């Protein structure tokens, strides 16, 4: 999971986070009341009542998510340890092969966004092993649990409201939104707020589907980096402007360094 990284106005965000954050809790005791209150007041956050009810009714507190949130150890490793744990030669070779398989899409992406294939492939591989494992936990349940939990209630309240907007926009049904424990969605693990801001319909079917559509996944990842300031035609090693853009993808230095090195190897 990446360290934590809406399209709607600041006043709406403030309204949502204030209302939800005010009733946070550190155990399951008050969760159901908190959830039902959110459903009742969903229109305050721009969410239709029927959307909130379909997405959240029956959602329960997930103590496993809380345990995982309190036990993030991978990012305390050295770069050498982290790279050895997450990357191997088979991943590099597969990235190179996928670069050929989706060559036409990558050429279109680089022309449009300026982001080269190896960088996107490195992110794709590192996040979910090229879509091999995107997680199977309910995004709504995870986000509701973390929004209710007092440790980072404001942050996850934003993400939960964003996830409800994804459903309301028609991109996915709540049952389709399954991902990592902290609510990341899709093959490059977008948080819901990033999904709302940067996900694009790159296959032209009218939906932004970062779970099943490879073109949407690759195009959206490039769009994210481009919007964050990616500089066309420049390198991405430490000390470069593009390396700083990768830091906006992930704040952990070992993660960013791994993306950079992995991309170099895929590109060779």
More confidently predicted of 51 and 8: 51
User: Which pLDDT tens digit goes with each residue over 181-191?
Assistant: 999 999 999 99
Model pLDDT, residue 71: 83
Using 50, 70 and 90 to split pLDDT, how confident is the model at 74? low
Beta-carbon contacts of 252 under 8 Å, excluding residues fewer than 6 positions away, are: 2, 3, 75
CATH architecture of 1-268: Orthogonal Bundle (1.10)
Give me the mean pLDDT over the 138-164 stretch. 97
Judge whether residue 20 has pLDDT over 60: no
Calpha distance 209→66 (Å, rounded): 27
Q: Is the pTM of this model over 0.85?
A: yes
Would you give the DSSP letter of residue 89?
Answer: H
* Range 79-90 average pLDDT: 95
Q: Please tell me the predicted confidence (pLDDT) of residue 73.
A: 67
Q: b/e map of 207-223 (b: 16 or more CB within 10 Å)?
A: ebbbbebbbbbbbbbbb
Percent of the chain with pLDDT over 90: 88
Mean pLDDT of 8-20: 44
pLDDT on residue 211: 94
Residue 70: exposed, middle, or buried by beta-carbon count in 10 A (0-12, 13-18, 19+)? exposed
Residue written as token pair 């709540």: 174
Q: How far apart are CA 242 and CA 121, in angstroms?
A: 16
Give the integer Cα–Cα distance in Å for 149 and 64. Answer: 13
Q: How many Å apart are CA 215 and CA 129, to the nearest integer?
A: 16
**Using CA atoms in the order 202, 205, 206, 210, what is the torsion angle rounded to 10 degrees?**
-50
Q: How many CA atoms lie within 13 A of 58 on its CB side?
A: 5
Identify which of 196, 191, 139, 202 has the alpha carbon closest to the alpha carbon of residue 171: 196
Q: How many Å apart are CA 244 and CA 237, to the nearest integer?
A: 9
Query: How far is the C-alpha of 12 from the C-alpha of 46, rounded, in Å?
Result: 8
The CA angle 253-254-255, to the nearest 5 degrees, is 90
pLDDT above 70 covers what percent of the chain? 91
Domain ranges of the chain: 1-268
pLDDT band for position 76 (50/70/90)? confident
What's the pLDDT at 207? 93
State residue 23's pLDDT score.
82
DSSP 186: T
Looking at residue 77, its pLDDT comes to 87
Q: Would you place residue 9 in the very low, low, confident or very high pLDDT band (cuts 50, 70, 90)?
A: very low
């Amino acid at each position: 999971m990446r360290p934590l990284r809406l399209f709607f106005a600041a006043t709406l965000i403030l309204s949502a986070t204030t209302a939800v954050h005010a009733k946070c809790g550190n155990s399951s005791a008050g969760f159901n009341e908190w959830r039902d209150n959110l459903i009742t007041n969903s229109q305050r956050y721009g969410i239709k009542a029927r959307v909130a009810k379909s997405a959240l009714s029956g959602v329960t507190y997930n103590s496993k998510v809380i345990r995982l949130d309190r036990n993030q150890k991978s990012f305390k490793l050295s770069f050498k340890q982290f790279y050895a744990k997450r990357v191997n030669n088979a991943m590099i070779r597969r990235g190179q092969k996928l670069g050929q398989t989706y060559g036409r899409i990558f050429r279109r992406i680089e022309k449009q966004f300026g982001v080269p294939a190896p960088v996107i492939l490195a992110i794709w591989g590192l996040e979910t092993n090229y879509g091999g494992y995107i997680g199977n936990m309910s995004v709504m349940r995870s986000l509701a649990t973390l929004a209710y939990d007092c440790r980072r209630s404001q942050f996850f309240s934003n993400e939960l409201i964003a996830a409800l907007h994804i459903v309301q926009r028609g991109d996915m049904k709540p049952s389709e939104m399954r991902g990592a424990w902290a609510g990341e969605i899709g093959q490059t693990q977008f948080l819901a707020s990033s999904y709302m801001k940067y996900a694009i319909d790159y296959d032209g079917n009218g939906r932004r589907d970062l779970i099943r559509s490879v073109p949407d996944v690759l195009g959206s990842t490039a769009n994210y980096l481009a919007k964050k300031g990616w500089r066309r035609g420049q390198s991405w090693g430490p000390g470069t402007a593009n390396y700083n853009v990768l830091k906006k993808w992930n704040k952990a230095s070992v993660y960013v360094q791994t993306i950079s090195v992995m991309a170099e190897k895929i590109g060779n």
